[in-house]
A and B are shown apart, each in its own frame.
Chain A
């Protein structure tokens, strides 16, 4: 196995995530797409670890950190979506355009 095969896979998964991030209207779906991107990043971290074989498995440690932070992100993200939904009766991101002139 060689490193680029994992990197290309991760790139493809990340690009899929970006696509979802850009096209999805529903905020929950946007968060799903973000999860895809985070998974792609984790593949990269673990693959680099497997290529470099650091003595303390740094790549895997950081993959674990990413997973943990992602869990926190989902919790907060969904709470925010819930809040917005309650106030606006909609979870469509393209309707939240208050951050403008």
Chain B
């Protein structure tokens, strides 16, 4: 076993505890999902719930374990690192470069452990209901366990090599899950697309790891952080290059423009997959990597910030606009995720370590909630399209209310969780001097509120336009919804600037438990003026979205209601005044109605429609012109090149075993001769 040296321990921020038993053996959490995976593979089919028991059991233990760590860290701050050497290579200059596996337990990883376990557990429970009667439940839960396990390996990684192992594991599991319904060729294509786009970005991550490893002589994050904190000269030489490479890697997993294209397609998987992928695992990996390597960016590679912030800002705004024109409810949420990832990336890139990761934390709750709610709706309606929905608040009240809570939290309405985390990002951007980007963020808040209002109006309000009779989801699905709605409301209070919650302090202090101080700015108090601007943008978006989309969903029903409660009872009750009443009503209702109608259709609708059409046109241009034609074209070109190379190379595969055998013998001979000649 291999600990930090005494010198490095002393370097660690002043009074961090080593955490005791639970931190020492935190690796149990990394292993359990894989144990569950094996158990599911071997025994899953014989179990009553097709192996879901194992997956849920593993994550339940993980949740308890990480909760203990969570509170230990909240009270005293923990840093513990355990590594085993598993191999080593010689590098130029005679040094040895060791490869290690192990786990790091500090503020950042504890937060992620807990988040993955908590959201994962709820999603797993939900999936028991959602996947009931599916063709391959056992395979699904096996891949799901693998997914959670790979993410835990990733976030618990004390070094870049293990992080890459977990990173690829997450990619593999997501490939399996996106392609879960592989009978449909489109789903297979979506899985391939996700895998390949991620691979493009992974090249950046691997090159970055190689650069850092060969420069420092170690892959450990703790030593990287210490070197960055000390402004080590040899690290400073490669910091910008390594930082950009790591960021490029993060762009793929965290779906930053223009590498976001895989994410909407990844909706092909079952909805619980989308929920987990968008909330706690996979897409957060990039932001997590940026947080893990934050000292590098904070102390040495600050030159990279402009580019990273720009990419994050483009992502958050462009993706938000895309969400406006989608009919598929999961795609609305998918583009929303891209947009929110843009917020997180912008914040971390601008130097807001706590702000970005706090948004990751709150976003995990309400985005998982929204996806699970959408899943419940899809489960009931058997369609992904909002044009087949409407009026579902009558049929699915619990889903409706939790979905509204999630939407309000995502839109950033006071005092829900999303308000606080988004406000902190805006405040950080303002403080770090990215004023333009801050205004883009505020505009993004408006767009966010607008499309969420649209989604809620088209799905839950108006009249039902689908077939059959939708019904509320079973308790196994609604309980996780409620379990996620609670933190979606209250999680924001964990990090109100300047407020400490007694002995458990606040989120800033929890995340600050790292080997070196993070050095990001923490506001002393809430900037109420900025918060008000952000809130106003969100509220405007909500109201406008409501005005544009809620009548559209239910024109017919609204007219009926208008006639029945006002006009018809009037005639019925005042029978003896019918002529007068008729006269008055007849005299006034026409012109009045016309006046109201005229005002409505030309003045109010004009304003509203203009706003709506402008956004929609812009969004269509971004989606159709830039995204579909420009960026997709480049990717298609690359894949066609790979395709052509494959076509050429496949001629070698004749299928004749004996030709392979001849090649094998000749190859062995050549090897022997080479050894004899060059020895």
On whether A and B touch (CB less than 8 Å), the answer reads yes
Please name the residue on chain B nearest to A98 by beta carbon: B655
The residue on A at minimum CB distance from B660 is: A99
Report Cα–Cα, A101/B651, bound state, in Å: 8
Decide if B653 touches A101 in the complex (CB within 8 Å). Answer: yes
Task: Quote the shortest CB–CB distance from A31 to chain B (angstroms).
Answer: 12
Chain A residues with Cβ below 8 Å from B665 are 18, 22
Known interface pairs A18-B665, A22-B662; A100-B657 also in contact (CB < 8 Å): no
Annotate A87-99 by CB proximity to B: 1 below 8 A, 0 otherwise.
0000001101111
A96–B656 Cα distance when bound, in Å, is 7
B580 at the interface (CB under 8 A from A): no
A13-30 interface mask toward B, CB cutoff 8 Å, 1 = contact, 0 = none?
000001001100000001
Find residues 55-85 in chain A having any chain B CB closer than 8 Å to their own CB. Answer: none
Interface residues of A in 39-63 (CB under 8 A from B): none
B-binding residues in A (CB < 8 A): 18, 21-22, 30, 93-94, 96-101
Determine whether the beta carbon of A96 is less than 8 Å from that of B658.
no
**B653→A94 contact, CB < 8 A:** no
User: Given A22-B662, A93-B658, A99-B657, list of 14 further CB < 8 A pairs?
Assistant: A21-B658, A22-B658, A22-B661, A22-B665, A30-B658, A93-B656, A94-B658, A97-B655, A97-B656, A98-B655, A99-B655, A100-B650, A100-B654, A101-B651
* Chain A positions within 8 Å of B655 at CB level: 96-100
Contact B658 A100 (CB under 8 A): no
The docked-state distance in angstroms from the alpha carbon of A18 to that of B658 is 10
Distance, CA A10 to CA B137, complexed state (A): 55
> Are the CB atoms of A97 and B654 closer together than 8 Å?
yes
Nearest chain A residue, comparing its CB with the CB of B646:
A101
**In the assembled complex, which residues on chain A have CB atoms less than 8 Å from the CB atom of B651?**
101
Min C-beta distance of A36 to chain B, whole Å: 14
Complex interface residues of chain B between 408 and 445 (CB less than 8 A to chain A): none
From 638 to 679 in chain B, residues with beta carbon under 8 angstroms from any chain A beta carbon are: 650-651, 653-658, 661-662, 665
Please name the residue on chain B nearest to A99 by beta carbon.
B655
A59 to chain B, nearest CB (A): 22
Q: Which single residue of chain A is at the shortest CB-CB distance from B665?
A: A18
Q: Which of B608-663 contact A (CB under 8 A)?
A: 650-651, 653-658, 661-662
Chain B min CB distance to A7 (Å):
14
Nearest CB on A from B247, distance (A) = 39
CB distance from A41 to the nearest CB of B (A): 14
A97 to B653, CA, bound (A): 9
In the complex, the answer to whether A21 meets B654 with C-beta atoms within 8 Å is no
Compute how far the CA of A94 lies from the CA of B654 in the bound complex, rounded to whole angstroms: 10
Q: Tell me, rounded to whole Å, the shortest Cβ–Cβ distance linking B647 to chain A.
A: 8
Tell me how many residues of B have a C-beta within 8 Å of chain A: 11
Q: When A and B form their complex, which 9 residue pairs have the shortest distance between CB atoms, in order from nearest?
A: A100-B655, A97-B655, A101-B650, A100-B653, A99-B655, A22-B662, A22-B658, A97-B656, A101-B653
A18-B665, A22-B662 in contact; A96/B657 too (CB < 8 A)? yes
Contact partners of A93 in chain B: CB under 8 A: 656-658
Residues of B within 8 Å of A21, CB to CB, are 658, 661
> In the assembled complex, which residues on chain A have CB atoms less than 8 Å from the CB atom of B662?
22
Q: Name the residue among B651, B653, B657, B665 with the largest chain A CB count within 10 angstroms.
A: B657
Q: Compute how far the CA of A91 lies from the CA of B488 in the bound complex, rounded to whole angstroms.
A: 67
Which residues of chain B have C-beta atoms less than 8 A from A99's C-beta?
Answer: 653, 655, 657
Residue ID in chain B nearest A97 by CB atoms: B655
Which residues on the A side are within 8 Å of B654 (C-beta)? 97, 100
Give the complex CA separation of A98 and B653 in angstroms.
Answer: 10
Report chain B residues within 8 Å CB of A100: 650, 653-655
Q: How far is the CB of B138 from chain A (nearest CB, A)?
A: 29
**Sample of 7 A–B contacts (CB below 8 Å):** A96-B657, A97-B654, A97-B656, A99-B657, A100-B650, A100-B655, A101-B653
Nearest chain B CB to A88 CB, angstrom units: 14
Contacting residues, chain B, for A98 (C-beta < 8 A): 655
- Bound Cα distance A99, B653 (Å): 8
List chain B residues, Cβ under 8 A from A97.
654-656
**B655: min CB distance to chain A, Å:** 3
**Distance in Å: Cβ of A28 to nearest Cβ of chain B:** 14
Using Cβ atoms and an 8 Å threshold, which residues of chain B touch A101?
650-651, 653
In the bound complex, do residue B656 and residue A94 qualify as a contact, i.e. CB atoms below 8 Å apart?
Answer: yes
CB of B673, distance to nearest CB on chain A (Å):
15
Within 8 A of A (CB), among B258-305: none
Residues of A within 8 A of B650 (CB): 100-101
- Shortest CB distance B36–A (Å): 35
- Give the complex CA separation of A98 and B654 in angstroms: 9
Chain B residues with CB under 8 A of A30: 658
Q: Which residues of chain B are within 8 angstroms of A18 by Cβ–Cβ distance?
A: 665
Minimum CB–CB distance for A91 against chain B, Å: 13
Which of A22, A94, A99, A101: most chain B Cβ within 10 A? A101
A25: nearest chain-B partner, CB-CB: B658
Binary contact readout B105-148 vs A (1 if CB under 8 angstroms, 0 otherwise): 00000000000000000000000000000000000000000000
Residues of B within 8 A of A94 (CB): 656, 658
Closest to B647 in A: A101
B396 to chain A, nearest CB (A): 50
Contacts of A96 in B (CB 8 A): 655, 657
B656 to A, closest residue via Cβ = A97
Cα A18 to Cα B665 in complex, Å, equals 8
Chain A residues with Cβ below 8 Å from B656 are 93-94, 97
* A22 to B554 alpha-carbon distance, docked (Å): 76
List residues of chain A with CB within 8 A of the CB of B653. 99-101
A15: nearest residue on chain B (CB-CB)?
B665
Q: State the Cβ distance, B663 to closest chain A Cβ, in Å.
A: 11
Q: Count chain A CB atoms within 10 A of each CB in B650, B658, B662, B665 and give the residue with the most.
A: B658
A24 to chain B, nearest CB (A): 8
In angstroms, how far is the closest chain B Cβ from the Cβ of A55? Answer: 31
**For the complex, what is the distance from the CA of A27 to the CA of B657, rounded to whole Å?**
11
CB distance from A79 to the nearest CB of B (A): 17
Query: How many angstroms from the CA of A96 to the CA of B657 in the assembled complex?
Result: 8
Bound CA–CA A99/B654 (angstroms): 8
A20 vs B187: C-alpha distance in the bound complex, in angstroms?
A: 47
Report chain A residues within 8 Å CB of B661: 21-22
Complex CA–CA separation, A21 to B655 (angstroms): 16
Q: How far is the CA of A22 from the CA of B659 in the complex (A)?
A: 8
Q: In the docked arrangement, what's the CA distance between A35 and B99, Å?
A: 43
Complex-state Cα separation, A93 to B654, whole angstroms: 13
Q: Which residue of B lies closest to A30 (CB)?
A: B658
- Report the separation of the CA atoms of residues A76 and B354 in the bound assembly, to the nearest whole angstrom: 62
Q: How far does the Cβ of B634 sit from chain A's closest Cβ, in whole Å? A: 27
User: Which residues on the A side are within 8 Å of B657 (C-beta)?
Assistant: 93, 96, 99
Distance in angstroms between the alpha carbons of A18 and B650 in the assembled complex? 26
